[in-house]
Structure 1
Amino acid sequence: MSVETAPRRRRLEPDARRGQILACAVRLFGERPYADVSTTDVAREAGVARGLVNHYFGAKKDLYLEVVRVMVTIPEVAVERLPKGDLRTRVEASVTWFLDVVSRHSTSWLAAVTARGMGGDADVERVLAEAEEVAADRMLVAVGLADEAEDREELRGMVRAYCGLATSTAREWLQRGALNRAQVHLLLTTTLLTIVEQVIPQVIDGSARPAHPAQPPA
């Protein structure tokens, strides 16, 4: 969920050039609806030939899908760089990282999570769903539950639900202005700690599982 813009009109290595083009696409798709951005626009912004954009990303929709993917997917390095402290320290750092990223790329992130101009598109939905699964796995690593195999699907479901809350809450801050950053940070930190410290233990020990309904007498 982080893309930086490289200097324009320089001879760059392929990975750096690809990153530069992607950074320009992230910015343009954040500023305008999908229909109003062309690969020519992206090429012009990046200072490259349009054919180079096609070479690295394919058609316009392929480029857009990559923009959405990079905006909504938690990179592995973000989890690797979390501090080695206690649960609260790691949760605080995770929430801070998330808020830093979405605020730094606010227009592009909002455009990605709302898929502006592409609502209901099956390919966009697939990318968003894949990002949810990645987020679930990486959040379990972040809170020290990656090795909890027996109840893994239930835990991943709760983490996916939390990630949905995080997205909605960030939109209340960035899009609607109903909350400020400190309030969002408090809400997301407190909620995640509650899930990990109070809800998940009940799931693991079985106390939160629904009882089987009694069978009627024969």
Structure 2
Amino acid sequence: MSVEAMRRRRLEPDARREQILSVAIRLFGSKPYAQVSTTDVARDAGVARGLVNHYFGTKKDLYLEVVRVMLTVPEVALEQLPQGDLAERADSIVGWFLDVVSRHSTSWLAAIGAGGMAGDADVDEVIAEAIDIAADGILRAVGMERRPPPALRGMARAYVGLAVYTAQEWLKRGVLTRDQVHALLAVSLVTMVERVFPQA
């Protein structure tokens, strides 16, 4: 269904909230934080500005939700992983990550760069939280503990950092291909699980 058709018909609250969030993801992905207003989001979503405030609060609250959504691994991605061996699972989670960041590359790059809001305590907290969730998701994806010791979680966070910067080399700088990124991340994850994580 087109955005225009969604504008014209009455949506359930969850669907309307998702529609507004989708518009916000697109706008914050294409412009710096300072250049996007809740009025812009409301106009493009075809709703009153008050509705944006009703669902998300302030502009900053809306932006924080955009960053959270763009950087957090959803539960469904982990549930859909194959039950194969470590290499298959690593290959699958890396493939899922690359699909997401390439499909939403502009918005993802803006979110990981904090959209001009780097250094803001709330934005930094959301990014750190998303990295923690991603690290826990990586550990679950490779069959490791749900409550990892600090050293293991730190290693998993380091892998997330590798994934983020490697994806930037592909999407932002254009010096790596998707296949090169996939190979680097999948092989690194298997190696870390087999040879590095046990040290934690």
Divergent runs of 4+, >4 A? none
* Residue 159 of structure 2 is aligned to residue 179 of structure 1: no
Q: Which is further off, 49-58 or 127-136?
A: 127-136
Query: Residues 122-154 of structure 1: CA distance to partner in whole angstroms, max 9, x if unpaired?
Result: 00000011111111211111000125x6x6211
- 8 Å Cα contact 1:79-1:138 kept in structure 2: yes
Q: Which amino acid aligns with 1:54?
A: N
Q: Does 1:57 align with 2:37?
A: no
1:118-133 pair list within 5 angstroms: 118-133=117-132
Residue number in structure 2 paired with 1:197: 194
Distance in 2, matches of 1:70 and 1:135, equals 12
Cα RMSD (Å): 1.3
Instruction: State the shift of 1:9 in Å.
Output: 2.7
User: Which residue is equivalent to 1:156?
Assistant: 153
> How many equivalent pairs are there?
197
**1:169 matches 2:153:** no
CA contact (8 A) 1:21 1:43 kept: yes
* Letter in structure 2 aligned against 1:49: A
Q: CA deviation at 1:155?
A: 1.1
Aligned position for 2:28: 29
Matching residue of 2:93: 94
Q: Deviations over 1:167-216 (max 9, x none)?
A: 00000000000101000000000100100011123x15xxxxxxxxxxxx
For 2:138 and 2:49, how far apart are their aligned partners in 1? Answer: 38
Question: How far did 1:86 drift?
Answer: 0.8
Unaligned runs of 5+ in 1: 205-218
Alpha-carbon offset, residue 41 of structure 1: 0.3
Q: Which amino acid aligns with 1:38?
A: S
The residue type equivalent to 1:157 in the other structure is: G
2 CA distance for matches of 1:159 and 1:118? 25
- TM-score normalised according to structure 2 size: 0.95
Work out whether residues 20 and 46 of structure 1, in 8 Å CA contact, stay in contact via their aligned partners in 2.
yes
1:16 match: 15
Shift of 1:77: 1.1
Contact 1:9–1:48 (Cα < 8 Å) also in 2: no
Are residue 137 (structure 1) and residue 143 (structure 2) matched?
no
Q: Which runs of 5+ in 2 are unaligned?
A: none
**Quick one: which amino acid aligns to residue 193 of structure 1?**
V
Bigger Rg over Cα: 1
Residue 8 of structure 1 and its aligned partner are, at CA, apart by 3.2
Distance, in Å, in 2 between the alignment partners of 1:49 and 1:97 is 35
In structure 1, how many angstroms separate the alpha carbons of the residues matched to 2:89 and 2:47? Answer: 41
The match for 1:216 is none
Aligned to 1:108: 107
| 1:211 corresponding residue in structure 2 | none
More helix by share: 2
Q: Distance in 2 between matches of 1:73 and 1:9?
A: 31
CA distance in structure 2 between the aligned counterparts of 1:84 and 1:10, rounded to whole angstroms: 41
